[in-house]
Amino acid sequence: MEYFNLHTHKFTNQETVLELVNQYPREFDVSIPHYSIGIHPWRIAENSLEEELQIINDKILEINCLSIGECGFDKRIEIPFTLQEIVFERQLLLAQKHNKPVVIHCVAAFQEVIAIKKKLKITVPMIIHGFSKNKQMAKGLIDNGFYLSFGKYLLQNPELKTVFESIPNDRFFLETDTAEVGIEEVYALAAQYKNWSLDELKQQIKSNFATVFKNRL
């Protein structure tokens, strides 16, 4: 592994890149070598909830499943927040039971994510993917034990430079999500922002991967 892509919806099958590919329970692709699996808040359907949770419960036992997710909260959709909370909690408890990290989708609900982590006493690593907020929010999440993953917004918004620079070296990852870019492009900019060589950045992310994913490969 030269590069690690913490969150992507597109498997590119490159020998140099370990991709944590997002999978949905009812659209599972057995050909994906490493994946996360979860119920995205946008895709919550009460009539299939138990079936999907059972699929997650089965898949989480497989060695190829590196994490739960993406799952979480989104206050800008019509799905009731109380239902989102129930679905998120059940996935967090599965992650805790099986000692798997969690990739989190969060829109306008960071305080709620922090609160649910405390309420359920979640100790497995929780990673906010696609982080795009300010230093204050980043610090609040870091102080509460979260990891932050940066991707397309880092490329699109120069104001994130100072936020990314402020993140402790052992608490970040990089990703592409749905962006039409390679993870190499994200690494290149991240190395520039950290004032590191590309090799230094690769080594740091390998170290972070080993800590969070417990060398499961």
Question: Which CATH number does the domain housing residue 41 bear?
Answer: 3.20.20.140
Binding residues: 70, 105, 129, 177
Q: Is the pLDDT of residue 197 over 80?
A: yes
**The pLDDT of residue 119 is above 60:** yes
Q: Does residue 196 surpass a pLDDT of 70?
A: yes
Which residues 6+ apart lie within 8 Å of 208 measured at CB?
A: 147, 170, 171, 172, 173
* Binding site per annotation, positions for a divalent metal cation: 70, 105, 129, 177
Please state, in angstroms and as integers, the Cα–Cα distance from residue 130 to each residue in 15, 127, 145, 151, 176, following that order: 24, 10, 17, 6, 8
Q: What is the pLDDT of residues 107-116, one digit of tens each?
A: 999 999 999 9
Q: What average pLDDT score do residues 198-204 get?
A: 98
Mean pLDDT of 141-149: 98
Please compute the mean of the pLDDT values over residues 129-133 and round it to a whole number: 97
Residue type, 211: T
Domain range spanning residue 99? Answer: 3-213
In one-letter notation, the amino acid at residue 128 is: I
Number of domains in the chain: 1
Instruction: Tell whether the model's pLDDT for residue 217 goes beyond 70.
Output: no
Output the pLDDT for position 43: 93
Residue 120 has pLDDT above 60, yes or no: yes
Mean pLDDT, rounded, for 56-63: 94
Determine the pLDDT at residue 214: 84
**Which one, of 13, 5, 9, lies nearest residue 23 by Cα?**
9
